[in-house]
Amino acid sequence: MKILRVIGSVDPNYGGPIEGLIRSSEVLSGLGHTTEVASLDDAGSPFLKKFPLALHAFGGHLKYYGYAPGMVKWLRANASRFDMVIQHGLWNYTAFATWSALRNSKTPYFVFTHGMLDPWFRETYPFKHLVKQVFWWFSEGRLLRDARAVLFTSEEERLLARREFWPWLARESVVGYGTADVAGDKDAHIAAFRASLPALGERSFLLFLSRIDPKKGCDILIRAFVGIASLYPDLDLVMAGPDQYGWQRDLEDMVRSAGIADRVHWTGMIKGDAKWGAYRAAEAFVLPSHSENFGIVVAEALACGLPVLITKKVNIWREVETDGGGLVSRDDVEDFGRILHEFLAMPDDERRQLRARSRAVFMSHFEINSETKKLMNSLVRLTAHADEHGVRNNAQSYV
């Protein structure tokens, strides 16, 4: 099959969705499927030089929305070349472009919302939510309504999404989703990471690896670490990820005021062997997020047999808690501090058992080869079912 995947940007700094797109496309290639990608990136962007898939970059002109009218024309002209289109994400011009170009097309399209319908956004940014409701009536809501299916990576995400915007008209499906298993030499990976961060030396550490973003609960993590730092003087915290909003300076002030600035290390974005070495050398992975759809980084940590300490706002928390791959808390300082202390106080044999269970959680739920096969089976089934029973198209009005 020929598959077109549409996404706002393929910049790796945007995290999980593009990583998942690349890894699943690699698996699909091995199964005989071909993938092309359409995005709003500028064709001259340096990160495109290493992008491994055929890419059509339309150069969105607005900083946030990415208006690129050439995308609609191209989609209409090329849709018939593909057996299906997968739209990744909402709230940029790709959502309107996909709906506008494909709503009356014979080429079926599907939508991954990637956690962008989580209630946290409404509660945290109420004015933005009102603006998005208007977009919903004219664009995003229509996109979901006319899709063959709206795809969710967990039951938790599916249930949360229903509460966000009115009206909710969508054919929902929870599908397989995963990430690549770790490969390569463990010792070489750890050496690469340690060499990239000489200030850490050989000290033990907890690992945060994600964007420095309020949504990720970085302030919760810093405050919780400050709270337990005196109890575990030989333990450091590594904060690995890009600072897209200039928030890191405020967080650094917090640890400086607590007198532990030398125990918190800021690496920026790390990749390749150094990234895998960070996972493999850490004591635990920590992500006190307020809103997290699938969490590619959580799955990567589990692949490395690394226990994960997460909140119930990470939508795969049930799999982690049920199968014993880590500890789960509320998204507040007190409760996250509690699981930090609970983990760090564990005897060595309990920690070894937790590592073994972490790896088992990955293999059972998130290994990319099996999950991508499940995804393709779901898409083929959903397409056949829609063709057999007919697809609602423009059945109800939004305005």
Q: What CATH number is attached to the domain comprising 278?
A: 3.40.50.2000
At 207, give phi and psi (nearest 5°). Answer: -115, 125
Task: Tell me what pLDDT residue 398 has.
Answer: 46
- For CA atoms 40, 44, 47, 49, the dihedral sign is positive
Low-confidence residues of the chain: pLDDT under 70: 62, 386-399
Task: Tell me what pLDDT residue 15 has.
Answer: 72
Shared domain for 243 and 361, answered yes or no, is yes
Is 64 within a domain?
Answer: yes
CA distance 211 to 113: 19
Task: Tell me what pLDDT residue 383 has.
Answer: 86
- 242 is in which domain, residue-wise? 186-365
Task: Tell me what pLDDT residue 387 has.
Answer: 62
* Cβ-proximal residues to 392 (8 Å cutoff; 6+ apart), any chain: 145, 146
Shared domain for 195 and 229, answered yes or no, is yes
Is 398 within a domain?
Answer: no
Number of separate domains in the chain? 2
Residue closest to 344 by CA, chosen among 283, 279, 396:
283
Structure tokens at 252: 């650094």
Shared domain for 265 and 158, answered yes or no, is no
Task: Tell me what pLDDT residue 16 has.
Answer: 77
Residue closest to 226 by CA, chosen among 133, 309, 336, 123:
336
Shared domain for 132 and 194, answered yes or no, is no
Shared domain for 132 and 202, answered yes or no, is no
Shared domain for 123 and 198, answered yes or no, is no
CB atoms within 10 A of CB 270: 20
Shared domain for 346 and 373, answered yes or no, is no
Query: Running DSSP on this structure, what letter comes out for residue 267?
Result: E
Structure tokens at 329: 């808390």
